[in-house]
């Protein structure tokens, strides 16, 4: 329906959840702009159309998504915006319920319905733009989504319900996208997927992550390549050989292990054991001696006993992970774990999460103090207060440790690499001076 005025639409895309959602929003922005539609991202600027890209992974994320939709639904009801659309994982999973509960939303779309969203704007999907996209991250780094979906059957995870099965993108397409990102000034690309190690099995009938890495290392302008979300079972060990051989690949691996007690791992359907996980981490450290391992664990899984939790704590102390995060179990409909009772009380889940993070805090503090006096190549991300803030190759943006440099004493360019000598350390951050 035509507007009564000739005012031009402005679209504000609100992105919630993980880095994969960020890439989806960026692709949507790219398509809208190519159709001459004014679009902004997570902006306070006035816009008459809002698209909320939701997360539906765990309870806290779902709550944030619902609250955000309700916030804009209230604005829509009062006439503050003309249209409200919702997309992403929550919309994919609970579309029927959301349509009933929040009628102020003009339309709900699933995770793979980009053409449907474009149709609302009478916009065409520009196939020639595949491999090109606007980025919403700082200019010097970007995410590169190498696959969609997941074929794993972890009992606690609803991602396959929302994202479908694993679909790899061809190496040629990813190299083209990396070249485009490099031309835009991107120096660091972070490879993301629901499951990195499965890459290539559908397209090439083999685990092709090592081949992809070698191809991406040839892209001029890209200086760091970082690996996120690798599954431990049947891990392609050749990846470590490529890491050791290729200086562009950060000595960093994000490999969510979820637990260490064999009994819990079996109930989680993780297809691995504590011994196999230990062997994998030890092999990684042997082949890439200064590798930083980031992992995440899930506490409060149904039936998790005090003894099983203690086994997890012992494992964390034994393995001395460089980086670690902890999630509390969320009872998700339509997962196999949903069929059993969520019997670990909320306060116990919280206590276990705090206990595990306290162990990791001590580990991180010790490892950080070992870095004092050392010099590291640091990528400067931003200026914040009285400090320039950057990262070493052992740290991913927003989730890991940072390096702080006194902005009153030194001037650094955001997006540049700088050698920083570490002078001071605390639990999670380092302080240093340019050399």
Nearest to 402 by CA among 379, 381, 383, 430: 430
Q: What contacts 384, CB < 8 A, 6 or more positions away?
A: none
User: By percentage, how much of the chain surpasses pLDDT 70?
Assistant: 99
Q: Average of pLDDT values for 317-342?
A: 95
User: What's the pLDDT at 59?
Assistant: 86
pLDDT tier for residue 132 given thresholds of 50, 70 and 90: confident
Please state, in angstroms and rounded to a whole number, the distance separating the CA atoms of residues 385 and 378.
19
Q: Pick the closest to residue 182 from 105, 240, 98, 248 (CA basis).
A: 248
Does residue 78 have a pLDDT over 50? yes
Closest CA to 292 of 358, 204, 354, 363: 363
pLDDT above 60 (res 212): yes
For 224-265, the DSSP string reads: EEEE----STT--THHHHHHHH-TTEEEEEE---B---HHHH
Contacts 24+ apart (CB under 8 A), 404-410: 404/429, 404/430, 404/431, 404/432, 405/380, 405/431, 405/432, 405/433, 405/434, 406/431, 406/433, 407/383, 409/433, 410/434
* pLDDT (average), residues 408-431: 97
What mean pLDDT is predicted for residues 134-145? Answer: 96
Split at pLDDT 50, 70, 90, the class of 160 is confident
- The answer on pLDDT for 4 being more than 60 is no
**Closest C-alpha to 321, from 354, 297, 298, 300:** 297
With contact defined as beta carbons under 8 Å apart, do 155 and 60 qualify? Answer: no
Tens-digit pLDDT profile for residues 17-66: 999 999 999 999 999 999 999 999 999 889 999 999 999 888 889 999 99
> DSSP letter at 9?
P
Return the pLDDT at 6. 58
Q: How far apart are CA 286 and CA 274, in angstroms?
A: 18
Q: Considering only CA atoms, which of 259, 213, 210, 255 is closest in space to residue 236?
A: 210
CB 72 within 8 A of CB 87: no
DSSP summary character for residue 170: P
**Arithmetic mean of pLDDT, 341-363:** 98
Give yes or no for residue 3 having a pLDDT over 60: no
Higher pLDDT, 362 or 5: 362
Answer yes or no: is pLDDT of 357 > 50.
yes
CA distance readout (Å), 333 to 54, 117, 271: 17, 27, 22
What pLDDT sits at residue 14? 97
pLDDT of 5 > 60? The answer is no
pLDDT tier at 10 (50, 70, 90 boundaries)? very high
Mean pLDDT, residues 216-233 taken together: 96
Return the pLDDT at 52: 97
Both structure tokens of 385: 């207060």
Give the DSSP per-residue string, 106-167: SEE--TT-HHHHHHTTT----GGGTT-----S-TTEEEEE-EE------TT--HHHHH-S-E
* Burial grade of 281 (CB within 10 A; 0-12, 13-18, 19 or more): buried
Band (366; pLDDT cuts 50, 70, 90):
very high
What's the DSSP call for residue 7? P
pLDDT in tens, 278-310: 999 999 999 999 999 999 999 999 999 999 999
Q: What is the pLDDT of residues 226-278, one digit of tens each?
A: 999 999 999 999 999 999 999 999 999 999 999 999 999 999 999 999 999 99
Measured CA to CA, the distance from residue 401 to residue 419 in angstroms comes to: 17
Find tokens 């915006």 and name the residue: 81
Q: Which residues contact 414 (CB under 8 A, 6 or more apart)?
A: 138, 140, 380, 381, 382, 383, 388
């Amino acid at each position: 329906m035509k507007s009564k005025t000739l005012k031009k639409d402005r679209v504000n895309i609100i992105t919630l959840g993980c880095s994969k959602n960020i890439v989806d929003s960026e692709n949507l922005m790219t398509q809208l702009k190519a159709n001459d539609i004014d679009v902004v991202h997570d902006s306070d600027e006035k816009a008459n159309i809002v698209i909320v890209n939701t997360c539906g992974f765990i309870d806290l994320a779902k709550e944030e998504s619902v609250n955000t939709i309700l916030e804009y639904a209230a604005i829509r009801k009062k006439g503050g915006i003309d249209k409200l659309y919702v997309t992403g994982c929550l919309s994919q999973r609970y579309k029927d319920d959301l349509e009933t509960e929040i009628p102020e939303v003009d339309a709900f779309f699933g995770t793979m319905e980009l053409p449907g969203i474009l149709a609302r704007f009478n916009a065409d999907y520009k196939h020639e733009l595949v491999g090109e996209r606007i980025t919403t991250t700082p200019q010097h780094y970007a995410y590169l989504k190498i696959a969609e979906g997941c074929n794993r059957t972890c009992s606690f995870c609803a991602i396959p319900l929302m994202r479908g099965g694993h679909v790899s993108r061809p190496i040629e397409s990813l190299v083209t996208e990396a070249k485009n990102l490099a031309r835009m000034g991107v120096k660091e690309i972070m490879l993301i997927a629901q499951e990195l190690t499965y890459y290539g099995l559908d397209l090439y009938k083999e685990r092709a992550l090592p081949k992809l890495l070698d191809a991406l290392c040839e892209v001029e302008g890209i200086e760091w390549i970082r690996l996120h979300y690798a599954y431990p079972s049947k891990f392609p060990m050749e990846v470590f050989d490529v890491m050791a051989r290729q200086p562009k690949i950060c000595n960093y691996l994000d490999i969510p292990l979820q637990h260490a007690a064999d009994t819990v791992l079996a109930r989680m359907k993780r297809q691995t054991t504590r011994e196999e996980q230990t062997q994998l981490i030890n092999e990684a450290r042997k082949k890439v001696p200064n590798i930083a391992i980031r992992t995440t664990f899930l506490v409060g899984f149904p039936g998790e006993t005090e003894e099983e939790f203690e086994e997890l704590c012992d494992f964390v102390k034994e393995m001395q992970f460089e980086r670690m995060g902890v999630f509390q179990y969320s009872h998700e409909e339509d997962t196999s774990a949903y069929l059993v009772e969520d019997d670990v009380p909320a306060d116990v889940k919280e206590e276990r999460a705090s206990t595990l993070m306290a162990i990791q805090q001590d580990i991180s503090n010790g490892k950080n103090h070992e870095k004092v006096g050392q010099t590291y190549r640091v990528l400067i991300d931003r200026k914040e207060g009285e400090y320039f803030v950057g990262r070493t190759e052992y740290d991913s943006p927003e989730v890991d440790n940072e390096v702080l440099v006194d902005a009153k004493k030194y001037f650094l360019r955001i997006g540049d690499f700088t050698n920083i000598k570490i002078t001071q350390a605390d639990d999670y951050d380092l302080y240093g001076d340019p050399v």
